[in-house]
Amino acid sequence: MTDARLPVIDADGHVTEPPTVWTEYVEEAYRGRAPRLALDEHGHPCQVVGDQIAMRDALLLTLGPERRFSGYTPRAGGFDPAARLADLDSEGIDVAVLYPSIGLYFSDVDDAKLQAA
């Protein structure tokens, strides 16, 4: 007998980039201008592109005023493929389509050379 169960698909999964994604993985010559995490005027985590705030209190960066983003501990399944597969198995999900999280705001970078870096 065959398994007649339809596959379960997560059509909107997200990779959790590390908070240091722009400072550690961008070419050194561009790091000073790369998007970065900071605290806004209320002490909430935000992403800054150039001198503009691109993202406030979004995704897993929303920690509240009493916490800093240095205390942010993402789930391993957000960035480790083996842990992601274990998470999917535990939830009965067969397939996941993954999108960036912080990387969704990459389009806010106007400089083509910085984007390529």
More confident of the two residues 55 and 14: 14
Structure-token pair, residue 28? 């050194």
Asked whether the predicted pLDDT for residue 100 surpasses 90, the reply is no
pLDDT-derived band at 86, boundaries 50, 70, 90: very high
Q: Tell me what the mean pLDDT of segment 26-35 comes to.
A: 85
What value does the mean pLDDT of the chain take?
79
**Phi, psi for residue 24 in degrees, rounded to 5:** -90, -30
Average pLDDT over residues 81-89: 96
Q: Convert the pLDDT of each residue in 31-59 to its tens digit.
A: 888 888 788 888 877 888 777 887 776 54
Confidence at 113, pLDDT banded by 50, 70, 90: confident
Residue type at position 93: I
Task: Give the C-alpha distances (Å, rounded to integers) separating 54 from 9, 14, 30.
Answer: 30, 18, 18
- Which sequence spans correspond to the domains of the chain? 9-116
- Percentage of the chain with pLDDT > 90? 22
CA–CA separation, 103 and 93 (whole Å)? 24
Asked whether 75 and 14 are in contact (CB, 8 A), the reply is: no
* pLDDT for 81 beyond 90: yes
Tokens 């935000």: give the residue: 46
